[in-house]
Structure 1
Amino acid sequence: MTDHYVVQHDRLDDQPLSVAIVDAVATFCDEEITELEPLHYTINTDALERLFEPRAEGVRSDGSVVFEYNGCLVTVDADGEIRVEEA
């Protein structure tokens, strides 16, 4: 396992942010998505989606959320970057 994994999520894409996070963690941990605990057990996924969704004045340009999930530290930045590393 590498020390971290970074992926860029396109906030204007149809893929929900929560799906991109689970996919990134599964890739980092070399596990199937179905082997992971549901993300909503760890964080309010609806609130997370609303926090970073495009707004009337455009996409959010700053801020981040950091939380632990599946033994990993996950950082989601307003620019769409998802960073996964060991907790």
Structure 2
Amino acid sequence: MTAGDGDRIDIAYRDVPSQAVVEAVAEAEGVPPEQLQPPTYEPLHSVIDPEALDTLFAPRADDVARAGGEVSFRFCGYDVTIGRDESVTLEKPDD
């Protein structure tokens, strides 16, 4: 992992959250995002619906930003947290 402290990496995303998660895990694993695929890595859609994730953080229909919140899930061996502040945090679990 290249950014952050110890077993944690924090990045900000500019695109959709689902793509940011793939890019963050690829960076942490030291591989290009297009190599983050089976059989070595699980697909994102096996743990969370990427479209639903992106919709959750997209502006409302009236183009107003949604209120705060975050989503956490485990993906490719990392605890992933996506925050309303356009952040993706990866942490290696202790187990």
Q: Which residue of 2 aligns with 1:53?
A: 58
Cα pair 2:26 2:32 within 8 Å, conserved: yes
SS in 2 for 1:21: helix
Q: RCO greater where, 1 or 2, for CA within 8 Å and sep 6 or more?
A: 1
Q: Structure 2 counterpart of 1:49, which letter?
A: D
Question: Which blocks of at least 5 consecutive residues in structure 1 are unaligned?
Answer: none
Q: Give the structure-1-normalised TM-score.
A: 0.82
Structure 1 residue runs of 4+, over 6 Å off? none
The alpha carbon displacement at 1:57 in A equals: 5.2
Counting only pairs closer than 5 Å after superposition, residues 11-22 of structure 1 correspond to structure 2 as 15-22=15-22
Cα pair 1:4 1:86 within 8 Å, conserved: yes
Q: Give the structure-2-normalised TM-score.
A: 0.76
The alpha carbon displacement at 1:30 in A equals: 2.0
Cα pair 1:53 1:59 within 8 Å, conserved: yes
Which structure would you say has the larger Rg?
2
Instruction: Give RMSD over aligned pairs.
Output: 1.6
Question: Which blocks of at least 5 consecutive residues in structure 2 are unaligned?
Answer: none
Q: Tell me the number of residue pairs that the alignment of Structure 1 and Structure 2 aligns.
A: 83
Q: Structure 2: how far apart are the matches of 1:30 and 1:85?
A: 15
Q: Structure 2 counterpart of 1:75, which letter?
A: T
